[in-house]
Amino acid sequence: MEIFKPGININFIGKRWIFISVSICLIVIGLAAIFIRGGLNPGIDFTGGTLVEIRFTKDVEVVQIRDALREVGLGKSEIQHVGNKKDVLVKTILSEAGKISERITNALGKKFNKANFEILRVEMVGPAAGEDLRYKAQSALIYSIIGMIIYISYRFQNKVAIPIIVIALLTWVFSTFSWVNLTVLSVLALVASLTVCIRFDLRQAFAGIVALIHDVTITAGFLAITNKEFTLSVLAAILTIIGFSINDTIVIFDRIRENMAKKRDEDYETLVNTSLNQTLSRTILTSGLTLLAVISLFIFGGPIIHDFSFALLVGMIAGTYSTVYIASSILVIWKRLEVSKNAKRKQIHQVKAKLANAKEQAR
């Protein structure tokens, strides 16, 4: 199915610096928000604590519940409605589930009467379990990104040995130096991966990974700006974004490769732009339909999956335009630098040849 007529020619690559500048601004603002807030807002999955869901017989306000809990030392708990004003979630960093539930029941009983509410569920995550989940969450993110390097390098450049060696070394580093802060290890792993891509001319892998980092960073930035909780469901959204974004990128890279085989003499920037236009209908159909589903989740899904759908919405918007404007633009910039480098080498070689000829003539 084609939305646009064949032969459409929108100059995506010509506008790349506008979108690259917008991305840089969004990333800087997001990182500033993360820094100011001291990191993302971790949910109970990662911090440990107790979650209590309560159902009242009539509507209640969060302020009323907080006033009641303040009397038993739980006034700083996170309190939110679930779907309607009768169902309430109370989250506290304390992890003694039985005692917390009892304290909440007693406090609310004094204010609302125990006949007017019931405890639906009580969940507890211990500090050790929360820390373990945090470690596994960060590991899942970094390994998913590094794993993409192997796939893209093999698919587009038939280079698989170097990426496999790199991921094996990084796995060894992660297991050996597990006592080091995982965030530091993750950053070092990404830097090492990108350095390897540059050193061994894994341009498609480099472009794809930069686009993924771009999508994840912008999503994390929006989570920090809006102070959304970073929970396991949000992590699932980010991993989904990574898969969605790289799939879109690979489709465009495939078309670029096909066109390079057919039009070897065509200017590379023009060829990339042509490839983007040829896949435009597919990009709009797949991304547009996916976004419609995500928007529906965001609007109608209710508060339980609100943070998940928010992260998914932001990430998919970022992923769609990063495929078009970031990943493809990096290929063009890389090619230009390569052409410029080769031209300089040729120029230096010519100068050396002239000097050698001049010396011979002088003799």
Tell me the CATH class for 49-125.
alpha beta
Q: Which amino acid is at 30?
A: G
In sequence order, the 6+-apart residues with CB closer than 8 A to the CB of 81 are 62, 87, 88, 89, 303
What's the CATH number of domain 13-40+130-346, 2.160.10.10, 2.60.120.40, 1.10.600.10, 1.20.1640.10?
1.20.1640.10
Measured between alpha carbons, how far is 343 from 349 in angstroms, rounded to an integer?
Answer: 10
**Of the listed ranges 171-185, 231-245, 251-265, 288-302, the one predicted with least confidence:** 171-185
Place of tokens 């030392």: 73
Quote the pLDDT of residue 222: 93
134, pLDDT greater than 80: no
Quote the pLDDT of residue 201: 58
Quote the pLDDT of residue 29: 94
Give CA separation, 73 vs 68, 69, 97, 98, in Å.
10, 7, 15, 16
In which band, very low, low, confident or very high, does the pLDDT at 165 lie, cut at 50, 70 and 90? low
314, pLDDT greater than 80: yes
Quote the pLDDT of residue 312: 93
Mean pLDDT within 64-78: 82
Quote the pLDDT of residue 193: 64
166, pLDDT greater than 70: no
The structure's pTM equals 0.76
Domain definitions of the chain by residue range: 13-40+130-346, 49-125
For 225-234, what is each residue's pLDDT tens digit? 988 888 888 8
179, pLDDT greater than 60: no
Evaluate whether 202 touches 153 at the Cβ level (below 8 Å). Answer: yes
For residue 363, give both structure tokens: 């003799």
Mean pLDDT within 90-118: 78
Sign of the C-alpha dihedral computed for residues 105, 111, 112 and 113 taken in this order: positive
